[in-house]
Amino acid sequence: SPLPVAATRANWSKQDLIAFTGTSSANASGIWIIKSDGSSPRELHLSGLSNQMFYPSWFPDGEQLAAMDAQDFVIKRIDLRKGTVVTLTDNRQVFTGMPSVSPDGKSIIFAGQKNTGQHYDQSNNQIWLMDEAGVSHALESVPAQGRAPVWSPSGRQIAFESTRGSASGLYAIFLINRDGTGLTQVTDRALNADHPVWSPDGRHLAFSARRSTLTRDRSIAVIDIPNN
């Protein structure tokens, strides 16, 4: 049956469940979970979740999720088994965007920007890392614009989208090591590529890209990533 919400930003667990953002006609957004065969959809109704929840990312155990709460621009950890919600980041330090949990579950990479009293603008995000101790810091020594980060299956690299180096604001996909070194652009700027997703073996990236410079039509493209 059709869902009562628009469904975006799906994230697949190893336990064969799919978490996604569900947005109602009243623009309320929550975290939903559904089985991979399309059955048993349900929204999470837990104390500590606002009606502006986005970008769920599974922890390896399949019982916990990280998600962005856009009401306060923080990342929250949702424990499905315990039914608890814990805020992981401090919005007095950093405004957060999309998170991605590392394959070992010990770190979270996320799009974010230092809070200097400005209004949040997701187009100004950079890539941040929350380490095992729960401390958040910009991943790059000289931070630049970056969004939609995702861990490689090996946990050695992060893929993300960025307009850095583009006078016209076009996006490209970049790779960077988890220690902030080895920044590499892997797609041509003309593709205006965004929203990278790793293949399970870490050898390919799928992403959204425009078909040509003569049209706004977009499609799914795949690029090989050697030696990851």
The contacts of residue 221 (CB under 8 Å, 6+ apart) are: 187, 191, 193, 206, 207, 208, 209
* C-alpha to C-alpha distances, 11 to 17, 149, 192, nearest whole angstrom: 8, 13, 23
> Which pLDDT value is given to residue 213?
66
| pLDDT at residue 215, as a whole number | 67
Mean pLDDT across 139-168: 96
What's the rounded Cα separation, in Å, for the pair 56 and 18? 9
**Rounded to an integer, what distance in angstroms lies between the CA atom of residue 34 and that of residue 26?**
22
Identify the pLDDT of residue 106. Answer: 97
Predicted confidence band at 1 (pLDDT cuts at 50, 70, 90)?
confident
* Residue 112: pLDDT band with limits 50, 70, 90: very high
- 42: nearest Cα among 52, 31, 32, 28: 32
Looking at residue 167, its pLDDT comes to 92
**Residue/partner pairs of 57-61 with CB below 8 Å, 24 or more apart:** 57/11, 57/19, 57/99, 57/100, 57/101, 57/108, 58/11, 58/12, 58/13, 58/14, 58/19, 58/101, 59/101, 59/105, 60/14, 60/101, 60/103, 60/104, 60/105, 61/105
pLDDT of residue 228: 66
Q: What is the largest CA-CA distance in the chain?
A: 52
User: How confident is the model over 72-100, as pLDDT tens digits?
Assistant: 999 999 999 999 999 999 999 999 999 99
pTM of the predicted model as reported, rounded to 2 decimal places: 0.94
Mean pLDDT on 148-167 = 96
Tokens 């990312």 appear where?
57
Chain segment 52-62, per-residue pLDDT in tens: 999 999 999 99
CA separation (Å) from 186 to 2, 23, 113, 171? 38, 32, 24, 11
Report the alpha-carbon distance of residue 52 to residue 127 in Å, rounded.
Answer: 22
Q: How far apart are the first and last CA of the chain?
A: 40
* Percent of the chain scoring above 70 in pLDDT: 98
Check residue 226 and give its pLDDT. Answer: 83
Average pLDDT score over the chain: 95
CA atoms of 145 and 126, how far apart (whole Å): 5
**What pLDDT does residue 143 have?**
95
Question: What does the pLDDT read at residue 227?
Answer: 73
